[in-house]
Structure 1
Amino acid sequence: MESVARSRPWCPPGSAFAGFRFPAEVIVLAVRWYLRYGLSYRDVEELLAERGIEVDHVTVYRWVQRFTPLLADAARFSRHAPGDRWFVDETYVKVNGVWRYVYRAVDQYGQIIDVLVSTRRDAAAARRFLTRALRMLKVIPSEVVTDAAPVYRAVLDELVPAAWHHVEQYANNPIEADHGQLKRRLRPMRDCRLIEPHRW
């Protein structure tokens, strides 16, 4: 008889929940809702209340800060290996109440390669961003798609001279669309709060 494997929702180890009043399933569900959909902490509080679970939005915030890294680590097992076609761009968002440039890259699968928050939009920031992405992933892209900003050409010639630098109009739409998702995600939050000094 052929057995059918059933996928179960992932849950962090029980020890991660020591001292928490609510069951692990409730906490993970709340964090997943917050991360997956364009919800505020108060939205999650309301959704839980509709299900008979009374949780303050500040508690939801604390859960998100505590368990997001665990969920991110678990999600890596279902990711593609990092692709060799990168889409690189920067956007402008509020971080801790101050406008900052956010350098971002995604691969051909839509996976986030890396993120860097910078006070400046210049060659030094682009070099720092790409250097770290290359060092962390240990993947050399065969193609890097950017907008026509001149700083990228010099930085890419320096760091990945063998990669094709593609700047054709509309070629960078994947990262532009990803920026849109980021900004929609930040809108209900009113602002972005950095958890770590350099990476989200």
Structure 2
Amino acid sequence: MKTLISATTAALLTLCATLPAHADVRVRANIGMVFDNRYHHDHYYPARGYVAPYVPRGAVIVGAGPGRYWFHGGVWYQPYGPRYRVVAPPFGVVIPLLPPSYVTLTLGGMPYYYANGVYYRPVPEGYVVAAPPPEANTAQVQPAPPPPPPPKAEPIIYPRNGQSPEQLETDRRDCNRWATTQPNAQADSSVFNRAVDACMDGRGYTIK
């Protein structure tokens, strides 16, 4: 048993030795994880090279064909036979949303977002994987403003009484008009939205 444990530990240490050396990343070889505390990010991630039987549920597919990646929680995966290997993303690939945990930075006067050894820059399509700027190795970094929140998804409106699409649009216009007459509705979007929902519910619609 001791021989088996020693062999497993040695294999994981060999895997982690292939990672780029960085003073701010510490390895937990016994479970194949690395601790990233660069810029006080302070999160654990699977070590690059780790092979998982499947990608986590909710992973975003980026790219196509042999250049296809799966992205989830700041971790990038590529197919590795029937399984998936944790990899470093190529520069230039774009994701629609940032990972749940990241650090906001201003480097060289430009905004960056950092997580799991990867730097992201805002672009119209989302966030592009960028090469580490020269200023990344300096001690002085200023926090950048956080990225704007993603737009709220449009609600789904279900006509409980079999109303036609034309009737739905008429009722929605009427409810929007009525909602603007409620106190504070024009100064607080949450009041306006609640008023619209209440009006539509009263006219026989379910909103989710």
TM-score normalised by the chain length of structure 2: 0.22
Higher strand share: 2
TM-score normalised by the chain length of structure 1: 0.23
Higher helix share: 1
